[in-house]
Amino acid sequence: MTTLQAPTEGQLHSDVPFGELGAALRGRLITAVDDDYDAARAVYNAMIDRRPAAIAQCVHAADVARCVDFARRHGLTVAVRGGGHNAAGLGVWDDALVIDLSVMRSTTVDPENKTVRVDGGCTWGDVDSATVPYGMATPSGFLASTGVG
């Protein structure tokens, strides 16, 4: 398990072959040289201003596994962003590899067993939209934009 830790001053991971990870993903890898880097690193709490080494926008569980393996091999700190809305901004971390699940928002409802499976990027609004037609509800709070994870 990789834990969050404060980065060392000036630690930029310039020797890490992020292009290798980007080529292996079905999703997208964003680094500071990309035009949408600032938008991709932004979180719900605008007071949080962290600069990750890279952001992997995963679209499948295999992308997540590739990211974890890559981070382990290269000694990277990992931050995981789910559906969002974390006031402490823990979905991003300075100089880390952010595993961004926000695109992974699939839900699968089993009305017979009254269960629902949700991807890591789902919000409670996604879950409500999927379950309400089956007369199901979740005890989850009242903001639809809050991430499930």
Its pTM stands at 0.86
What count of other Cβ atoms lies within 10 Å of the Cβ of residue 8? Answer: 9
| Residue 8 pLDDT exceeds 90 | no
The span from the CA of 65 to the CA of 71, in Å, is 10
pLDDT, one tens digit per residue, over 122-134 is 999 999 999 999 9
User: Letter for the amino acid at 5?
Assistant: Q
Domain-by-domain residue ranges, the chain? 18-100, 105-149
Q: What is the pLDDT of residues 96-148, one digit of tens each?
A: 999 999 999 999 999 999 999 999 999 999 999 999 999 998 888 778 888 88
142 Cβ contact partners less than 8 Å away, ≥ 6 residues apart: none
For the chain, how many helices (H) and strands (E)?
A: 4, 6
pLDDT tens sequence across 60-96 = 999 999 999 999 999 999 999 998 788 888 899 999 9
Between CA 97 and CA 55 the distance in angstroms is: 6
What CATH code would you report for 18-100? 3.30.43.10
